[in-house]
Structure 1
C-alpha cells in the first residue's frame, strides 16, 4: 500500500466495543471514518482477534497495526484483564493477533497509547520534558512519557493516597458516586496529584477522559505546582497513539 509511509492503522479493544481506523500520521487524526464492532461475549483472545481481523479486512489494510488493550502489556503479553475475559491473563496476545490477522501487531496499554498521542500531536508537544497523562473515568489510567519516550505500564491510578487506592477516591466515578461538588472533587484531585508530583516530578500533567471537556469547571480547585492542561485528542487518542507506535516499531 503506497500510502503507508504517511498512514498507520490503530485498533482500540474495549470491554464493550472494538474500534479501528486508518490514521494520518502527519496530522495525528483519522484518515477515514472509524469502524466499531461490539466486543464478542465472552471476550476471549481468539474471539477478539477475529473481530480485529474483520476490521483490518474492511479497510484492506495489509501492513503493521497498533492495538490498544485495557491491561498491563509486557512485550506483547497481556498480564492483566480489565472488562474482558480472564483468559487474556498471561496471553501472548501479539503473537495470537499476528497468527489470526496475518499482519504484524504491536500491542500497547490503552492509556499508554493515548499518552503517546497527546505528546506527539496534542496537548504536550515535543519539548515538554516529563509528561504525565492521566485519564479520569471509571478508574484512573496513566501514561508517563519522558522526552518523547514512553515508560510503559505505569499504574498510577492505584497508588495509595491517604490510605486509599488513588482511583477509588479521585476518579470521575467517585465524584458521581459520592455526589461531590467540583470544589470537593478538586480537593481530592489535589491530594492525588500532589502525591504523584512527589514521586515522578513531572513538567506537565495532561488530563484525559470525558471530564476533561469540563476542565474549566474543576481545574481552578486543583492546587498543585505542576502545570495542568486538558487532553486534545479525546476519544481518538488511543487509536492514533497505537498507530504511531506500530509505525515506529
Structure 2
C-alpha cells in the first residue's frame, strides 16, 4: 500500500492518452498509455478513468488527478472550447471526469501543463516567470508566474500561435489562412507542417522536420535555407513575447524543438528584434521531452512536497499551479 501522497497526471493527446503517477518529489511511480478514441467522447472518459484506476491499483491508494487537454474550459459556458480534438468541444469534460472518478479533477490546457512542468522542475526551475512554447503539429504557449499558471480572464493567455507573425516581409504578407479564420498566424509559419510546407515550396520534395534537419546537416542547401528562414521567423515571434511578457525563461518544446539548428544564434536574433538594448532572457530546450505535459498535469496539485509542506488533498479547492 502506497502510504505517501501521490499525484496522477493525464495527458489527453489527439492520438494517445498517457497517465503517470508521481511521488512527493516528482519521481515516477508508474506510467500507462492508451490510444485516444478522439471521435467518441464517452470512450475518452472511459479511457481516462481506466488509466487512473490502473495506476491506483498498481500503487495501492488514491491519488489526486490533473488532466492536460487540448483546448480549455470556457469561463462563460463551463464547456470545452478551442480544442483541435473537436469531439471535446462543447462538453463539460472536467465535471464528467469528476463524476466518473468521484473526486475533484484539475483540468488545464496541455501547453500550460508543459509550461508548468518546465517551471517546476525542468529548464525553467527557479525562475519567476516562464513562457513555455510548443512547436509541434500546432503552435501553443503557456505562462507560469511564481509557480502558477496564468490563465487569463478568458483562459486564452499564452495563445501566441494565433497572433500575427511580427514584422512580416512583403513576401510573407498576408500569410496563409489559419484554421482559426485569420491570415498570418504564428502557427501557420512555425508549426511542424509549416516547416515541411516551406521546404517543399523551395525544393519540390516532401520531408518531415526531422528529415529536413538531417538533410541540412548533410549539406543540402534547400534544407538549410528552410531552417534559416524558420529560425528567423521564430526569433521575431519570440521577440514579440519578450516585448509583451519579458519572461525570465523561454522553454521550447514540441517536435520542432528537437532540431539543434534552430538554437544556433537564436538568442542573438531575438535580441536584435526585441525592444531593448540587450536581453537577459534564457531561451532553452525543454528537460522533460514528451513527458512534460503529463508531468505538468500532475503538478496542477502543487509542487514537490518538501519538509514542512502540507500534503496534497484531493478534496481541496480548485487551483492551477504549483503550491
**TM-score > 0.5 by shorter chain:** yes
Distance 1:109 1:199 in 2: 21
CA deviations over 1:31-56 (Å, ceiling 9, x no partner): 22x21111125231x22111111111
SS at match of 2:108: strand
Mark the runs of 5 or more structure 2 residues left unpaired by the alignment: 169-173, 175-183, 200-224, 272-280, 303-311, 313-318
Moved more, 116-125 or 205-214: 205-214
Which residue matches 1:98? 98
Distance 1:16 1:68 in 2: 14
Give, in angstroms, the shift of residue 221 of structure 1. Answer: 4.2
Which residue matches 1:232? 287
Contact 2:4 2:23 in 1 (8 A): no
When residues 82 and 3 of structure 1 are mapped into structure 2, their CA distance, relative to the original with a 3 A threshold, is: farther
Distance 1:79 1:66 in 2: 18
Does residue 245 of structure 1 match 2:300? Answer: yes
CA deviations over 1:49-104 (Å, ceiling 9, x no partner): 1111111121225332011101123467422221241xx22422111001122232
After TM superposition, list the pairs within 5 Å mapping 1:13-92 onto structure 2. 13-26=12-25, 28-32=26-30, 34-44=31-41, 46-59=42-55, 60=57, 62-74=62-74, 77-85=79-87, 88-92=88-92
Distance 1:89 1:177 in 2: 28
When residues 221 and 150 of structure 1 are mapped into structure 2, their CA distance, relative to the original with a 3 A threshold, is: same
Distance 1:53 1:31 in 2: 18
> Across the two proteins, how many residue pairs are aligned to each other?
241
Which residue matches 1:150? 149
Mark the runs of 5 or more structure 1 residues left unpaired by the alignment: none
Normalising by the residue count of structure 1, what TM-score does the alignment of the two structures yield?
Answer: 0.88
Which residue matches 1:173? 193
Q: Which has the greater radius of gyration? A: 2
Does residue 203 of structure 1 match 2:203? Answer: no
Give, in angstroms, the shift of residue 2 of structure 1. Answer: 4.4
CA deviations over 1:140-167 (Å, ceiling 9, x no partner): 1101111222102421111112351011
